[in-house]
Amino acid sequence: MKHRIRISLGTVWETTVAFVRAESPLLAPLALLGFGLPTVAMLLAVPIDAAEAGILKPGPWMAWLLPCGLVSMLGSIAVSALVLTPGISVRESIGVAIARLPAALGLLLLYVGLQVALAVPLALATMIDLRASGGTGPFAMTINLADIAVTIWLFVRVLPIWAVLADRPQSAWAAVRTAFRLTRGCYARLLALRIVMAVAATIAMVVLLVPIGAIAQLIGMATGNVVVSAMLSFVATGMVIAAVIGLWTVYVARLYRALELAAGAPSSGI
């Protein structure tokens, strides 16, 4: 008989808040370096005309996605290591992240392989529809929806993957297997958690960034320097995103530890 793991997401949140309050001097620089700095770099890399049009046109600026994504990945592992290892320093957390880089890149390769595997049946279905009706038909749409469903399912099942990787040295595939084992029977609640957190994070960023953007614009008008206004807005945006993603990363690391501790005591519900 299969069992689900009993955990309290509210308790995880309480321990997250307590950790952030106690360790904010260590957490802040990691979050700013891992999440805030890549955000500012990407905002600076986006062409002005693309930003003004409200669209992101493909171009050479997209090359910045690789280093910024790499830094964010290292930031996720470093923050997770800070949460999971008592007494660890910022420098040691960064060292853990760098040591886990090969496995993290392995995870990236697994993700690319997954996208290729999902793209093949979609391409075949599109070709079939084109031959049958001359356009995208229900077959391709069904395959596309199935691909989206599979992707969402996998992302929920590997929710604590960076914490798993930060906790102990292991291969990318071993980390995926561990994440799957810990989240077995928890899919519905973890999916709801992701949705709630995404909505809450979006609301928080809108509430914070709208007045920040307005203030930056006023400063730019007062100084007559648009560059100053843009830089203030970019830096403020980076700080807000660093706070939001940093908090989420701490929460997921605490959730991972709760799932790991509860895995040895299966019960009838979450």
What are the tens digits of pLDDT across the range 207-261? 888 887 777 777 777 776 667 777 888 888 899 999 999 999 999 999 999 998 8
Tell whether 4 is covered by a domain: no
Cα 96 to Cα 81: distance, rounded to the nearest angstrom: 7
Average pLDDT value over all residues in the chain: 84
- pLDDT confidence of 2, banded at 50, 70, 90? very low
User: Residue 267 has what pLDDT?
Assistant: 37
Q: Evaluate whether residue 238 is within a structural domain.
A: yes
Is residue 256 included in any domain, yes or no?
Answer: yes
| Residue 230 tokens, joined | 């843009």
Q: Which residues pair with 4 in a beta bridge?
A: 267
User: Looking at the domain assignment, is residue 269 inside a domain?
Assistant: no
Q: What is the pLDDT of residue 269?
A: 33
**Domain membership of residue 62 as a residue range:** 9-262
* Residue 3 domain-assigned (yes or no): no
The domain total for the chain is: 1
> According to the per-residue pLDDT averaged within each range, which of 53-62, 74-83, 143-152, 261-270 is highest?
74-83
Measure CA 42 to chain center.
Answer: 16
Question: CB-based contacts of 152: which residues, under 8 Å, 6+ apart?
Answer: 191
Rounded Cα distance, 128 and 132, in Å: 6
The reply to whether 270 falls in a domain is no
Question: Is the C-alpha dihedral spanning 109, 113, 118, 123 positive or negative?
Answer: positive
Model pTM above 0.75: yes
With the CA atoms of 235, 236, 237 and 243 taken in that order, what torsion angle do they form, in degrees rounded to the nearest 10?
110
* φ, ψ of residue 186 in degrees (nearest 5): -110, 5
pLDDT at 58: 72
Residue 167 lies in a domain: yes
In a domain, 193, yes or no: yes
